[in-house]
Structure 1
Amino acid sequence: MAAQTYFHLHSLRCLPVPLKIQNPQNQTHRFKRNPVVCKLRVAVIGGGPAGSSAAEALATGGIETFLFERSPATAKPCGGAIPLCMLDEFSIPLNLIDRRVTQMRIVSPSNLVVDFGKTLKPHEFIAMLRREVLDSFLRQRAESSGANLLKALVTNLVVPTSSLEPYVIHYTMDNCQHQLAVDAIIGADGANSRVAKSIKAGNYTTAIAFQERIKLPEDKMGYYENLAEMYIGNDVSPDFYAWVFPKCDHVAVGTGTVCSKSNIKSLQHAIRARVKPKIEGGKVIKVEAHPIPEHPRPVRVRGRVALVGDAAGYVTKCSGEGIYFAAKSGRICGEAIVKASEGGESMINEDDLKREYLRKWDDKYFTTFKFLDVLQKVFYGNNAAREALVELCGDEYVQRMTFDSYLYKKLASGNRWEDAKMVMNTISSLVRCNIMGREVEASAQKILSRV
């Protein structure tokens, strides 16, 4: 029945069959892999950086590829920062960059300001892009590489009960219902992934990010020519940070939180209040909100389905960065399928995906994600710790280590003596700021008691 359904859905589609070889005694043996009579067919659900990068890798490697994107004209709300290494690694044209940020300003709860960027070399910067521009470019490149781009909404995914049955995708395109049978699926459909639900990949904690795009008067926009700002404090977020990021002709002003989602508009009002003199006279041109995963899903591979990007939970703590890791996970997963299927000639299975995709991903990035998780727990828990964080950011060694790690996506190797000093300075700052925090709180209580 499964085979009949398969051929009914796609008369040109061929089921995987076991390869049989004859030995001299005329005994039949099964080859260790299941080749397919025609090329392996893979569907990628979601056309953001993760999905487009996966589709490009698949199509380039000879896989019959279908890339589903329901709304090509829209984009996920996002700060839009990408590291320097991504420009070369993913061949991103420089004309897509809106702003080259060479200065980060971090502002503490008490409005202590530290300029972050003293150690940048002349050629180094943080690239700021609009997601609608970047995503469109990556999708078009995947299509040029041979992927079939479908402007369609996936409505259901039928999971097979046998390794020889296809996955059947139900989708709506041009107001008509369609079905597509495929051998494997890459879920790149974001934090609220339908693919993840279909394979029972489990839930994860999410933050909410809220931002307004504000078009500023020309003189005020000039202030943000190459500057991005981060604000921390309980007023703007109890467990994350708020931001002002420059775009082509406007700024993105926003905040995020895990534990106070119901108060997100109040937190947004607070960041607007803190930057009021800098954005006064600006006009809100767009309001955006979206969930951000806080940790990887319990299951990222099941059967012949793999999750990448936000669907897999690949957003770093502390910084909330996701674009690079989305694109990287998509590419690694696509290349893994190409390798495991021998260029689309053989069927793949769950073990292949775990070996060629998950193991490589975890070996490369597990330490980075855990390190940033620890940093967020240490420095974002209360205002005293946030003051300590800003104080530490004034140290040039801290800045160099931070930027080197961010720009080139690897934990920077430092000097042992400087590392030891940094640890001691961190402890000293935390102790000092906690003492100051208690004193400030006590003074505030005394003042309030007199009112």
Structure 2
Amino acid sequence: MAPQRYNRTKAVALAVVGAAATANAFQAKGVFGGQRVATPRSLTRSAAHLDMKFKVAVVGGGPSGACAAEIFAQYPDVETVIIERKMDNAKPCGGAIPLCMVDEFKLPEKLIDRKVRKMKMISPTNREVDIGTTLKPDEYIGMVRREILDGYLRSRAIEYGATPINGLVTKIDVPQGHNGRYKIHLQNYEGAQKVGTKEEMEVDLIIGADGANSRVAKAMDAGDYNYAIAFQERVRVNPEQMKFYEELAEMYVGDDVSPDFYGWVFPKYDHVAVGTGTVVNRPAIMEYQKAMRERAGAKIEGGTIIKIEAHPIPEHYRPRRVVGRMVLVGDAAGYVTKCSGEGIYFAAKSGRMAAEEIVAVMKANGGKLPTEAQIKDTYIKKYDQAYKPTYIVLDLLQRIFYSNNAAREAFVEMCESEYVQKVTFDSYLYKRVQGNNPVEDIKLLFNTVGSLFRGAALAPPDKPYSNPVESLKRL
């Protein structure tokens, strides 16, 4: 579909993004002042002001923000701005996307660095299990670089008419009872400015797509959540090593690389991403990363580290995702799955869904802004119906199989099952629950029990650690 709004040329739009490169949703930190704006404004358009447009601010320019801005920008009754500070930064992310995302979000193949058709699961005792045999010839897991993917989605939103602002939000004034306009205070870093220019902007609705350290979430008192620290190194290896990872990704489990998650080696265009994460022992993240490099061993030996990235990753939903006309999406809302740590698809999906539902309500109500109740009854209700079971199941699997080395050993053994591989890949690639086989489910139950017993006999015991304070910290 061709862009429908504004006379801004494509060249200008792309120049704005190109000047700052591309990146993930910004990672600002800070505390908000919660000043109240006393002057309410009518939330509906009168006949005398039919030419007035409501203004939507999308804070954050990663997949969730860009996909939300793209939808709003195509609605003629809305003026859309997308505020992103670090256009040249990228979230430390393995960069795996499901096959369904390519078609659903109309992503060109040039964004896909690698098409992974094989994966190795590597246990605490270094037992390797190859998975991917159930994939069809045209099926794959897409590997992307976030700076490329995020930049493309953001550019597309700008082409449709969203106005980009290279800025950092510093404070949001919330109107009494959310019955008026929100005032956003920001530092504008237009061009190559090292010191931002203070600006203010009044808007009618805010989409918080600004990640785990969301300032929008703080302004709307969305509540806290626990979080993991993800750490990743981009490593450029030699051509022979790169060839090994041509269609292959690796996942390592063991308390040496993470006491509650996994480590990964994921291939990119001309390098590999090596990383790990943890919630319960964040201060030891560098020790776990060192162990990841050691576990990968000769496969990445001699490689040059070209980039180091670290970032908080949410562990569960925010207590409140909609307050008034402030709406959270992506990491800001807590949409990262346990066990797999997947977040890109759910970020993009939540941003698009939130915008689509808000626009639909406005169209149905003669152009009126939606209420908090209406947003919850559409966006929140539909998102949870579609995906909350997935979060619950993956949370349970993480609690069971990432809890100790014996369970991790059993988990890797279970991955040898063709049935497990098929159900896992089909669910991941297409984001829908697959029809399970009751007979195979019963077999899997018994096999799981056997795997747990064997894992307990084979796996080394977990090393104790003491981190009673840090492990309980919340954003």
Same fold flag (TM > 0.5): yes
The corresponding residue for 2:169 is: 154
What is the distance in 1 between the residues matched to 2:88 and 2:277?
Answer: 25
The corresponding residue for 1:407 is: 429
**For residues 85-115 of structure 1, what are the alpha-carbon distances to aligned partners after superposition, in whole Å with 9 as ceiling and x for unaligned?**
0000000000111101000101000011000
Name the stretch that deviates more: 69-78 or 262-271.
Answer: 69-78
The corresponding residue for 1:25 is: none
Shift of 1:432: 2.9
Residue 338 (structure 2) pairs with residue 324 (structure 1):
no
The equivalent position to 1:395 in structure 2, one of 378, 399, 417, is 417
Check whether the contact 1:40–1:345 (CA below 8 A) recurs between aligned residues.
no
Residue 377 (structure 2) pairs with residue 363 (structure 1):
no
**For residues 52-109 of structure 1, what are the alpha-carbon distances to aligned partners after superposition, in whole Å with 9 as ceiling and x for unaligned?**
0011111123322111111112211111110000000000000111101000101000
The equivalent position to 1:58 in structure 2, one of 72, 94, 98, is 72
Shift of 1:4: 9.5
The corresponding residue for 1:31 is: none
Name the stretch that deviates more: 395-404 or 409-418.
Answer: 409-418
Q: 1:3 to 1:383 in 2, by over 3 A?
A: closer
The corresponding residue for 2:145 is: 130
The equivalent position to 2:57 in structure 1, one of 26, 39, 43, is 43
Shift of 1:435: 4.1
TM-score using structure 2 length: 0.85
Q: Which amino acid aligns with 1:197?
A: K
Pairing 1:15-54 to 2, within 5 Å after superposition: 15-17=42-44, 38-54=52-68
TM-score using structure 1 length: 0.89
Check whether the contact 1:79–1:245 (CA below 8 A) recurs between aligned residues.
yes
**For residues 203-229 of structure 1, what are the alpha-carbon distances to aligned partners after superposition, in whole Å with 9 as ceiling and x for unaligned?**
100000101100001111111111100
Shift of 1:17: 4.6
What SS class does the counterpart of residue 292 from structure 2 fall into?
Answer: helix
What SS class does the counterpart of residue 240 from structure 1 fall into?
Answer: coil
The corresponding residue for 1:449 is: none
Q: 1:441 to 1:95 in 2, by over 3 A?
A: closer
**For residues 129-153 of structure 1, what are the alpha-carbon distances to aligned partners after superposition, in whole Å with 9 as ceiling and x for unaligned?**
1000000000011111111111111
What SS class does the counterpart of residue 186 from structure 1 fall into?
Answer: strand
The corresponding residue for 2:312 is: 291
Shift of 1:38: 1.9
The corresponding residue for 1:28 is: none
Identity %: 54
The corresponding residue for 2:242 is: 221
User: Unmatched 5+ residue regions in structure 1?
Assistant: 7-13, 21-34, 443-451
The corresponding residue for 1:383 is: 405
What is the distance in 1 between the residues matched to 2:303 and 2:71?
Answer: 42
What SS class does the counterpart of residue 238 from structure 1 fall into?
Answer: coil
Return structure 1 stretches of 4+ with deviation > 6 angstroms.
Answer: 2-6
What is the distance in 2 between the residues matched to 1:18 and 1:316?
Answer: 40
Shift of 1:416: 1.6
Residue 370 (structure 2) pairs with residue 348 (structure 1):
yes
The corresponding residue for 1:74 is: 89
Check whether the contact 2:70–2:157 (CA below 8 A) recurs between aligned residues.
yes
**For residues 353-410 of structure 1, what are the alpha-carbon distances to aligned partners after superposition, in whole Å with 9 as ceiling and x for unaligned?**
1011100111111101000000000100000000100000001110000000000011
What SS class does the counterpart of residue 403 from structure 1 fall into?
Answer: helix
Q: 1:199 to 1:225 in 2, by over 3 A?
A: same
What is the distance in 2 between the residues matched to 1:3 and 1:115?
Answer: 59
Check whether the contact 1:193–1:311 (CA below 8 A) recurs between aligned residues.
yes
Q: 1:48 to 1:367 in 2, by over 3 A?
A: same
The corresponding residue for 2:21 is: none
**For residues 128-182 of structure 1, what are the alpha-carbon distances to aligned partners after superposition, in whole Å with 9 as ceiling and x for unaligned?**
0100000000001111111111111111111110444100111111331111111
Q: 1:4 to 1:219 in 2, by over 3 A?
A: same
What is the distance in 2 between the residues matched to 1:183 and 1:374?
Answer: 39
The corresponding residue for 1:112 is: 127
Shift of 1:37: 6.7
Shift of 1:423: 1.9
Larger radius of gyration: 1
Report the RMSD for the aligned CA atoms in angstroms.
Answer: 2.0
What SS class does the counterpart of residue 176 from structure 2 fall into?
Answer: coil
